[in-house]
Amino acid sequence: MGLSAYLFAAISCGIAWARVHENPRTGRLAAILLVLEAGLFLDMLFNGRWLLHDLLQGEAMAEKLYTLRTGPQIAMLGLLGAAAVGGVALAFRSLRGRTGAAVAICGMIFSLSCWCAEVISLHAIDAVLYRSVGGVMFVSLIWVLCSLTTSLGILWDTRVSRVNTSSIADRTKTQPLSQRFF
């Protein structure tokens, strides 16, 4: 389910970028989200987060710190939560007037937060993420929701950007030549 969700989001970001790549503001955001979604897709394909988790776990065991992991895991999750809330607030604050862009960024923030929570792998969080809900892991539903949020947000921003660009171009065409340049 995660593969499909992140592939759908990457394709949506690619479509958004193709539609507005000449608009630096919207095109750059679409390109960045495309790269991140493609990265999450590849992570799902090759289990990159679990390779990183296993590496960190192995290092903790080698250093005989594994039994002391709960405190640092809770601290990291707290920092992750604060960073996510700060990122969402910053996105909506700095992107006033571009609600679609802010929504897309929020979807990405939540995707990356889920990825980090899986790498940190606190047992209590894992028990919730990997619980079955109607035959589907809860984390799969999170992946789908995050991917849909990113996809719909960037496509919304692209549509608004194209409409605004078209209306500016239409207004410019109807203005006399002297008003276009002065």
> Could you tell me the residue ranges of all domains in the chain?
2-162
Q: At what angle do helices 138-174 and 24-46 cross, to 10 degrees?
A: 160
Among 26-30, 147-151, 165-169, name the one with the lowest average pLDDT.
165-169
Q: What is residue 137's three-state secondary structure?
A: strand
| Model pLDDT for residues 27-74, shown as the tens digit of each residue | 999 999 999 999 999 999 999 999 999 999 999 999 998 889 999 999
Q: What is the pTM of this model?
A: 0.86
Pair of tokens at residue 175: 């203005």
